[in-house]
Structure 1
């Protein structure tokens, strides 16, 4: 029972997390170490894998994000890195980039980003509550909703596994 109480406390902590909207992203260009610190501060509280400079360089090299200008990253790149950091454990970078491109094809990047953050923040807030989400009105909305649910389900399942994990004794082979 103590484990279940501990899980409920974890749920309550996750429900308090609010990922940053576009207006809360830095309005000035950042160097790599600042980008890493900002992104990891935002997504790290969810327990997802932290982003590294090597990962960012790889995303630039493979054109998953736009290359920095004079080694400085702008708001658009920060938004992309936040989304990649959240979605990378679940999807390939190609799928993530394609999804971002599809969603932003019908909406401005700022609005598309904020819409996704709203959906994800709502999913986090409702974790374990069983409250219905705001229904999707378009396929883009549905895509964002499914992606947000996938992120939350992954975070939740990993936490549950960590909490119930017991040492496994090797099975002895009988000859």
Structure 2
């Protein structure tokens, strides 16, 4: 088996070992900005997604993507939203993310919606996508979103590995 193929499978095994916090495992106390940034980046870092910055979070508040902090402190709901945004942002526009979150939480409590999304994500990371059956349209929407995020991560990893083997030649103009 070629080294890059082995490397890809090791990377997939690494993904399968990643854990993400369910709602009840999120911090039980309010966090200041620097604590939110550290928590989110520590949580999502093993997935290789881009880091969240204070400027990004301030933009999310400014554009009503997340609720403003109360006395400069972020609560569980905001931390959950920032985690979801961090996962979804490489694949979807901010408007699509907010609309999707609003749609899902219109019929599900935020805790249940968040936990369902995390369950679907963990099933996908562990290669158990087929085990994650949708019970309704919201679950199906979340499943498709998770699949898109994971497929993007995997295709980018494969592209990186294949570029290391063979560098494509530029297209010639005639």
Q: Which position in structure 2 is the counterpart of 1:60?
A: 61
Task: Specify which structure has the higher proportion of helix.
Answer: 2
- Give unpaired runs (5+ residues) of structure 2: none
Q: Which position in structure 2 is the counterpart of 1:164?
A: 162
Aligned pairs, how many? 170
Deviates more, 1:67-76 or 1:155-164: 155-164
Q: Hey, what's the Cα distance between the residues in 2 that align with 1:32 and 1:134?
A: 34
Q: Hey, what's the Cα distance between the residues in 2 that align with 1:165 and 1:17?
A: 26
Q: Hey, what's the Cα distance between the residues in 1 that align with 2:43 and 2:109?
A: 22
What TM-score do the two structures reach when normalised by structure 2? Answer: 0.92
Q: Hey, what's the Cα distance between the residues in 2 that align with 1:53 and 1:109?
A: 24
What TM-score do the two structures reach when normalised by structure 1? Answer: 0.91
Q: Hey, what's the Cα distance between the residues in 1 that align with 2:169 and 2:140?
A: 44
The alpha carbon displacement at 1:170 in A equals: 7.7
Q: CA RMSD in A?
A: 1.8
Q: Hey, what's the Cα distance between the residues in 1 that align with 2:169 and 2:141?
A: 43
- Give unpaired runs (5+ residues) of structure 1: none
Q: Tell whether 2:113 aligns with 1:138.
A: no
Q: Which position in structure 2 is the counterpart of 1:74?
A: 75
Q: Hey, what's the Cα distance between the residues in 1 that align with 2:143 and 2:3?
A: 33
